[in-house]
Structure 1
Amino acid sequence: MPIIEVNLLEGRTPEAKEKLVQELTKATIEAIGAPRESVRVILREMAPAHYSVGGETFAAKAAAKSEVS
């Protein structure tokens, strides 16, 4: 039973997440021949304040960007 875990920032539409799940399932079936009913996909959404790159959270980056605009 393949289990795919995806971490992503909050803010995507339900339709976008549904498409992601469908496409990951399809890719798994094609890549390893897994039966559709055995494919599991877990989406974990994170607040921008809970994810950082280079010591700066995405929330701080967004705030700095909006101050410049």
Structure 2
Amino acid sequence: MPEVTINLAAGRTEEQKKAMMLDITQAVVKHTGVDPEAVVVQINEAPLHNKMKGGKTFVERAAAQKK
């Protein structure tokens, strides 16, 4: 059973996440030949204040972009 885990900063809509998981499921089916029922896709979301890049939290990065 193929399992795919995606780590994301929070902020995407439920529709965006569902579409992404569907696309990933279809890619796994296409390239491995497994049944879609065998594919598990999981999204782990981190609140923006719990994720950092380049020494700044994603909250700080978003604030800096608005300036």
Q: How far apart are residue 35 of structure 1 and its match?
A: 1.2
CA RMSD of the aligned region, Å?
1.1
Q: How far apart are residue 53 of structure 1 and its match?
A: 1.3
TM-score, length-scaled by structure 1: 0.87
Structure 2 unpaired stretches of 5+: none
Could you tell me how far apart the structure 2 residues matched to 1:6 and 1:56 are?
A: 21
Q: How far apart are residue 18 of structure 1 and its match?
A: 0.8
Q: How far apart are residue 11 of structure 1 and its match?
A: 1.2
Deviates more, 1:50-59 or 1:20-29: 50-59
Partner of 2:31: 31
Kindly tell me the number of residue pairs found equivalent between the two proteins.
Answer: 67
Could you tell me how far apart the structure 1 residues matched to 2:27 and 2:39 are?
A: 10
**What amino acid is aligned across from residue 48 of structure 1 in structure 2?**
L
Could you tell me how far apart the structure 2 residues matched to 1:11 and 1:61 are?
A: 14
Partner of 1:62: 62
